[in-house]
Amino acid sequence: MNKRVTVNTLMEMKQRANKITMLTAYDYITSSLLDELGIDVILVGDSLGMVILGHETTLPVTMEEMLHHTKAVARAAKRSMVVGDMPFMSYQISVEEALYNAGRFLKEAGVQAIKLEGGEEICPVVFKMVKVGIPVMGHLGVTPQSVHQMGGYAVQGREEQAAKKMIADAKVLEEAGAFAIVLEKIPSELAKKITQTIRVPTIGIGAGPHCDGQVLVTQDLLGMFEKFIPQFVKQYAKLSNDIRSAISSYIKEVKAGEFPGEEHSF
Ligand code: KIV
């Protein structure tokens, strides 16, 4: 069996300009496939709330829902690093509560790291987690848990001041001990600047080609999530259509008495 991807592996990959691949999973089957295919990092994103649970935003997702799905993902992943996404209000109230909840991801769900959204304001939390041995992935740019504060999901960091602030946030996250930072929906040139400025890897989603790695929501990549398709998504398949066709055939054959056939019967 290949050795588990660790924070050191990701750091070495950045140094060797070896691109990091990350995808989301929320269940055992998807996680098994991603692990088998050699994805470096599997993120159990709080996008769970929208993609799997049907919420309008990621805000309603609870710790219990995240842990439930993360356990299934972690059971399947033997080589990939599994990162648990901390849901809204599980790390913002106090450092103590944040530590307790992050600890649950490691102790109960079996992840190797957690992710949380935000810059300078969450650095005390990041610092403390790293101090007690919990690897932390940061997340800047569009931070979906702040959708109401941002007034939507528009590209972040277009203005000079906002870009400067994001570079500063990336630096302080690195100083606090974050081992990687997700950059979501920001201009490519800004992502390039951040990637060149910090030593830890950047992982982009809608942040152009210069990041040290890329992440997408797996259901977006597979063409399964049709509610909206962000511009930064490339659909490598149209699985929704395949599912429609397969289920329609099943319905037709059952109604016509064609399934089950001799070969499926005892
Ligand atoms: O929740 C999620 O899936 C994420 C990724 C899109 C980075 O945060």
Tell me how far the alpha carbon of residue 45 lies from the centroid of ligand 1, in angstroms. 5
Q: Which two tokens stand for residue 122?
A: 């969450």
Read off the pLDDT of each residue in 179-195 and give the average, rounded to a whole number.
98
Q: Mean pLDDT score of the chain, rounded to an integer?
A: 97
Cβ atoms 222, 203 nearer than 8 A: no
Read off the pLDDT of each residue in 230-234 and give the average, rounded to a whole number.
96
In this predicted structure, what is the pLDDT of residue 68? 98
Read off the pLDDT of each residue in 186-205 and give the average, rounded to a whole number.
98
**Which pairing describes strands 136-141 and 41-44: parallel, antiparallel, or unpaired?**
unpaired
| Interval 33-70: pLDDT, tens | 999 999 999 999 999 999 999 999 999 999 999 999 99
Ligand 1 atom with least separation from CA of 51: 3
Ligand 1 atom with least separation from CA of 203: 7
Q: What is the DSSP string of 71-105?
A: HHHHHH-SSSEEEEEPPTTSSSS-HHHHHHHHHHI
Burial (CB count within 10 angstroms: exposed 0-12, middle 13-18, buried 19+), residue 6: middle
Task: Specify the range with the lowest mean pLDDT, choosing from 134-143, 165-174, 223-232.
Answer: 223-232
Whether the pTM exceeds 0.95: the reply is yes
Classified as helix, coil or strand, 255 is helix
